[in-house]
Structure 1
Amino acid sequence: MRLLFIRLQWLFYVLSASVLLFPAPAYAQWYRLPFQTMGTQAYVELWAEDASQGKTLLTDVQSEFERINQLMSPYIASSELSQVNRDAATNPVTVGAEFYQLLQQAEQLAGLSDGAFDISFASVGFSYDYRQHIKPSAAELSSQQPLINYRLITLLANNQVRFTQQGVKIDLGGIAKGYAVEQAIGLLAKAGIKHALVTAGGDTRLLGDKRGRPWLVAIKHPRKADGIVAQLPLSDSAISTSGDYERFFIEDGVRYHHILDPKSGQSPSGLMSVTVLGPDATRTDAMSTTLFVMGLARGMAFIEQQPEFEAIFISSEHQLYFSSGLAQ
């Protein structure tokens, strides 16, 4: 009996030492966080092997969005965008490399799209208030619309920005959220995460698959609050949707929404939404806005010339149209 007790006591010491030497692993699982940022709802979901890392990365993603918001929001007086809008028509404004590089991307897409994508839409856009149902008068529109011209934005050496005409304003609303989504995914990838989803507003970026299954990304129905028109099985890609239902008001039967045609300073009416799929969210965000402005015929011709991108158009008649890569 005493021998049995000694053996059991010895076994207890061995097991205790094993626990000390090899602590119980933190079980891998999905970590999720919804949050508000950049004027919209955002969400991150990731698979982490360690609870501490998973929770830390969720807050890191939220912090990354807020960092970018502080740089690029037109509603924050200290943002670089606000500084540019205040001063660039008087003197060159020096901005950070990150902001400058995003302006370069916007300029490139403006040239590629013959001005369909134009961040100077804000020269008229700031005269709209969709919550208060306010739009520019005919006189205001007549004076402000000529200021929508990306060629009036000059990117100088040493990260300097200059407007060549008084009254020009810019807004990165057509590209900044996609950029923030892409930056957040880059942050997760750098931390060793293999499976993640980050979404903000209409912009989503997927890192890997959903552990052996594709992510299912829904395309919202443009006229039904909780409806969807399609679910796409995707992995390791980006998808962005621009629609006339995000910020809008209706007056005298006309829908005034936040996507403006640079040529008129008014909301185009031929489409209800455009969804773009591609390799990174910065580009899909900007491309979805571009195609919406272009309209169905011109937009379809344009997307067919972009080999890395595909698109789904929903016309004002509720018809779906697919670019050739998706139609197959």
Structure 2
Amino acid sequence: MIRQCSLLAGYSCLVFSLLFPASAAWYQDKQGIMGTNIQVEVWSDDVQQGQQATQAVMAEMERINQLMSPYIANSELAIVNQHAAEHPVKVSKELFDLVALSIEISKETQGAFDITFASVGYLYDYRQQHKPADEQIKSLLAAINFRHLVLDEQQYSIFFSHPKVKIDLGGIAKGQAVDNAIAILQNLHIKHALVTAGGDTRLLGDRRGKPWMVGIRDPRHPDKQAVVLPLIDTALSTSGDYERYFEQDGQRYHHILSPKSGTSSYEVQSVSIIGPRSVLNDALSTAVFVLGVQQGMDLLNRTLGYDGIIMDNQRRMHYSTGLAKP
């Protein structure tokens, strides 16, 4: 590192140069993948390592997208949706394990989190502002039940025991991708990093001596933060009724559907979960959103290591017992 130093300041400048090489910096990238905004920020002392780290994160996001997107015709998930009602479909261990985890979370949340919501959910088109007719929803409600998913651990296969079942991992796959990305960064010896996929953020270490300041968006004011949290080496996921929605006849139709009704849940506007694993934060934020304030808080308060903040439909904030009000 070449620096212009005065004689008196030379010693300090030399020490600074030794501690912080020329290439020591934050390396960042942002891309649109998995239908959302992906952001990575890493600290590295080396240009090659920093660039390799950000590229590796984006590559992992795209790999998960190609594996688990229901909108990519040749993805494993799309093939399962096409054929699993006809016969068991063999899948990769990675997809099998994530579906198995989803089923376990469904059991723990009394079905509030259920990847078979897509049996009705696929009929919604938020870009085209289209919702299914009530008759369509009612005719498919019986297909929303995680118990219709029959898994064979020996064959790594998935079978649908109901002919109308579809699955969607949108409430858990991004969390999985974020966890994978952090593991990749750790293997590259990165010590300080942030990875965000939509509402899912995980932090590696601190921000070089300071906590990461992570904001939770105000659901009705996109340019404002409802809460800003100082966080270190943890993860936060937010589910909100503003992520994918449209308004029609004074009603907001958003993507977080109740598995019981096949329609949007309205008791809360957003749920944020803080915990060590993004994959669980992601699923829990959806489950708590569907459960509502009382049942959602009951779930959080009995889930060791995970806390949450709920903004209800009256814009009141609710905090789990492990969190102090700011």
TM-score for the superposition, normalised by structure 1: 0.91
Percent of residue pairs identical: 49
1:255 correspondence with 2:252: yes
Q: For 1:272 and 1:25, how far apart are their aligned partners in 2? A: 46
Equivalent position of 1:64 in the other structure: 60
1:313 correspondence with 2:325: no
CA offsets 1:172-207 (integer angstroms, 9 cap, x no match): 000011111111011001111110000010000000
1:225 correspondence with 2:186: no
Equivalent position of 2:116 in the other structure: 120
Moved over 6 A (4+): none
TM superposition shift of 1:307: 1.5
Of 287, 295, 307, the residue aligned with 2:284 is 287
- Residue identity matched to 2:319: F
Q: For 1:224 and 1:136, how far apart are their aligned partners in 2? A: 28
Q: For 2:270 and 2:319, how far apart are their aligned partners in 1? A: 12
TM superposition shift of 1:26: 5.1
TM superposition shift of 1:25: 5.6
Of 229, 234, 259, the residue aligned with 2:231 is 234
SS at structure 1 position matched to 2:119? helix
Q: For 2:23 and 2:80, how far apart are their aligned partners in 1? A: 48
CA-based RMSD of the aligned residues comes to: 1.1
Structure 2: unaligned runs, 5 residues or longer: 1-19
Equivalent position of 2:201 in the other structure: 204
Structure 1: unaligned runs, 5 residues or longer: 1-23
SS at structure 2 position matched to 1:204? strand
SS at structure 1 position matched to 2:287? helix
Equivalent position of 1:7 in the other structure: none
TM superposition shift of 1:327: 2.5
TM superposition shift of 1:56: 1.3
- Residue identity matched to 2:138: S
Equivalent position of 1:148 in the other structure: 144
Q: For 1:28 and 1:327, how far apart are their aligned partners in 2? A: 36
- Residue identity matched to 1:242: S
1:44 correspondence with 2:40: yes
1:166 correspondence with 2:163: yes
Q: For 1:25 and 1:52, how far apart are their aligned partners in 2? A: 13
State whether residues 26 and 51 of structure 1, in contact with CA within 8 Å, keep that contact through their aligned partners in structure 2.
no
Equivalent position of 1:86 in the other structure: 82
Q: For 2:163 and 2:110, how far apart are their aligned partners in 1? A: 23
Q: For 1:104 and 1:182, how far apart are their aligned partners in 2? A: 17
TM-score for the superposition, normalised by structure 2: 0.92
Of 94, 97, 100, the residue aligned with 1:98 is 94
- Max Rg structure: 1
Equivalent position of 2:9 in the other structure: none
Q: For 1:298 and 1:185, how far apart are their aligned partners in 2? A: 31
